[in-house]
Structure 1
Amino acid sequence: MKIQNAIMLLLGFSFFISCSGSDDDSAGGGGNPQNIKIMKASASLFNSYFLDSNGNVYGCGANSSHQMNISASGNQYKPTKIIDHVNRVAAGEEFTLFLKNDGSLWGVGRNDYGQLGTGNTNQQDTAVKLAEGIKFMAAGKDYSFIIKNDNSLWASGKNTFGQLGNGNTENQNSFVKIMDDVKTVATSGTGMISGGHTLILDNGEKLWACGENSSFQLGDGTDINRQLPVQIADGVSQISCGAQFSIFLKNDGSLWGTGFNGAGQLGDGTVYTVHVPKQLMTSVKEIGAGQGHTLALKTDGSVWASGLNDNGQLGNGGNSNLLSFEKTADGVIGLTAGNYHSLLIKTDGSVFSAGSNGSGQLGLGQGISGSFEFKKIEF
């Protein structure tokens, strides 16, 4: 699950990443002999999506609910082109949102909680237009957010814990307005063990949170679920939600986290739950939170990882959890975290993946169950 930078890159249930060069086949190098240059990416439990410099989206992984916008229902083990003229993509739980260059929002896949905002709960097997005048969107576990051109925030879908932030726990099958003056939003990702929580960053750099709070993931010092957003920090530039934990960047490049820490995902050297935001690192420029792991891209291009590593999602060559941040790659300019896998983008637009590949989400081909180290994806 990934969030982007202060100008609304990142995050999700899926997160985006910007890029631009090197030349070997390991995660420490680069090299993309193809003409395809990947600029942004988004990841979920069973899927990965890649946006190239020409606005084409490629996807791999599960297609059980036609979330990849292709007719075949089986897993796709290599990146497949699925749609074009796109500016941004967000991966939800068996549904996907596409923001086109003209500001129109399109969605496909599961809709049983109204997460597509179509006014009903019918699954969509091909992408349909959902809204116009959109500048950002986020797809979580059975719920979605959009930000309109006027900076207003709207939400639709599952709302059991108040994660939509509209003051109740009623599911919504159409987008309802939540608040104004919003810069970006992050949702807890697909397949999460938690019910769902949301982080909202406004244009005044104030961070707000709502939804499930059983593990202090909202960072307000309580374990009380919040149906309306509560302010928890200021001076914030970037946000990302994991499963029952939250991480964010401040303007000075410091990384902060709160919530569940049983696998060491907060990287503070312990497995103790953190009740209010705690500083974890410095000199960070991009972050991504998965089911139980955290990725941090430092200003020198190195990637540091901590937390759950049962599928090798940290990319350090092993599968033991890390309680403190460890460097796992160099020469990286973008990253995103799926539930149990991770994606890195190099300066030349090449992409590397590590972790679980049960549905083909690593894009490395069929017959590969996973990878404990970052391997290059061929397009």
Structure 2
Amino acid sequence: MMNKLQQVVSFVRDQYKTDKFIPLHEPRFRGNEKAYLLDTIDSTFVSSVGAYVDKFELMMQELTGTTKAIAVVNGTASLQVALRLAGVRPGDEVITQALTFIATANAIAYNGAVPIFLDVDLDTMGLSPYAVNLFLEEFGELREDGCYNKATGKKISACMPMHTFGFPVHMDELLQACAKWNIPVVEDAAESLGSYYKGKHTGSMGLIGGFSFNGNKTITSGGGGAIVTNNLDMGIHAKYLTTTAKKPHPYEFFHDEMGYNFRMPNLNAALACAQMEELEGFLADKRKLASEYEVFFQHEGIKFRTETQDTKANYWLMCVELADRTERDNFLKFTNDNGVMTRPIWTLMYRLPMYASSQRDTQRNAEFLEERIVNIPSSVR
């Protein structure tokens, strides 16, 4: 095993052509980033209003094929507002997955709602339509105003799948399951910019979706996010809520809803626009790296995770599946000790103290993946 791990470290170093520390995913700035940032500074419009905010929103609409995009301060904020717009209210429940980053669950909690954690599919690592169907057949109860949980009496007001590491979930089957029970789908597309399911961009297939542009994402605005939807009225409302719900007026301040100061600054949007111009090249480089990883790991007898049929993944964070927890831990220790950053998949949400009491199913697949999945360096070269 040690010799195999040495081969892994050597191979990764060959891909990045360095003997220095190799991070998991670092940004690349090789386009108009500096020029756009300087232009923003010269304009003095560095805060929440500016031409680059408008431009970035249009770029997101074009990329995702949606009617309206709204730039916000981060991915968590995009999900929080998206859930509220989908109808999630305090005391409600939201179906999601336990195998996810904490922001997915926190966005639900920020709305005063409670997550229901259902299992993922082994192939996508995202929310399983089969698990959703199974749960709703046992616990779902359709009433005049929506679906309710027979076990708790609470309304299930949304379902939020997360496209894990940029691998799209089985959206057709999930949308069908949720439509049957009158549950809107809110897509957590935070990790999946540039990923497609049957030709449709992630985030565009549900009622509303949210993206992240954190420093470790495929493209970054430093900190930032975006909401996308094909419902124009909902999109306009999203813009209104995220700009403090202030009624338009030349100088008076009147707010008629509880809004949020979730505006993306023009300075961040300038960076985002320059990064969006580089996206096609970034995605091509990452797909090439994924192909090289796949061949290498197949030769080493280690499973490299690839996109599923009818999808095109962005390969945001690439990953391998080890035989068991012991092999996983050995892999993590050796690579990190030798200057190649790797990390395990997230701790399942119901193992965290704030979500320990949440309703869940068996989580057989999620627990299998938790013990075996490791992310490997995935930066654009």
TM category (shorter chain) comes to under 0.3
TM-score after normalising by structure 1: 0.24
TM-score after normalising by structure 2: 0.24
> Could you say which structure has the greater relative contact order, defined with CA pairs below 8 angstroms and 6 or more residues apart?
2
Q: Which has the larger radius of gyration?
A: 2
